[in-house]
Amino acid sequence: MELSASQGLFKAGIWLKGINGGLELIGGILLATLPSSVFTRTILFLTQHDVGDGTKDWVYRELSRAVSTLAGQSTFAVFYLLSHGLVKVFLAGALLRGIGWAYPTALGVFGLLAGYEVYRFVAHPAVMMGLIIAIDVAVIVLIWSHWRAESGKRNPRARHSKKRRSHATA
């Protein structure tokens, strides 16, 4: 069975959400179990070839600041990562299986998460956050359009009755 371009984009977007959720789960587990010094050493290791002493490099400073912020708010970060990761993986699995209730649920949950991201973006603008918001909005639009297409296939009489009602009132 060949997928249309919109179906392919829908599946790719949902897979991205599922993978993102899986990475959030892994990150939450690591953050809960490893001391923050491990993250600091990892950043130093990953950036040592590019940054020299590290004090003048923007990437190193930003990563170090993020790690120290996470260390100070680790309980919230662990909860955030684990809960969001679990919800995203669960909803992505349900959407890929075509389970009907998953469409409005995913639209609501992903819409709330995108709203929170917009709030964070307004408070602390960052290019990466803007990119994440754009991707999330695109996935929300794909879910909505796929849901409409699927519900039209399942209930073609509902589409025709809506058309008849709109013609009757005109």
Average pLDDT over residues 127-147: 93
**Does the predicted TM-score (pTM) go above 0.85?**
no
Answer yes or no: is pLDDT of 21 > 70: yes
Confidence of residue 10 (pLDDT cuts 50, 70, 90): very high
Alpha carbon distance 106, 131 (integer Å) = 20
Helix axes 156-169, 127-154, angle to 10 degrees: 90
Please, which pLDDT band fits residue 52 given cuts at 50, 70 and 90? low
Token readout for 100 is 């009907």
- When pLDDT is averaged across residues 8-26 and rounded to a whole number, the result is 94
For the chain, the average pLDDT equals 81
Average pLDDT over residues 27-51: 74
Better-predicted residue by pLDDT, 77 or 52: 77
> b or e along 52-79 (b: 16 or more beta carbons within 10 Å of the residue's beta carbon)?
eebeeeeebeebbeebeebeeeeeebbe
Q: How far apart are CA 84 and CA 28, in angstroms?
A: 10
What number of other Cβ atoms are within 10 A of residue 148's Cβ?
A: 12
Quick one: pLDDT at residue 76? 80
Give the model confidence (pLDDT) of 84-93 as tens digits: 999 999 999 9
> How far is residue 108's CA from residue 74's CA, in Å, rounded to a whole number?
27
Does residue 58 register a pLDDT over 90?
A: no
31 band by pLDDT with thresholds 50, 70 and 90: confident
Q: Is 160 exposed, middle or buried, given 0-12, 13-18 or 19+ CB atoms closer than 10 A? A: exposed
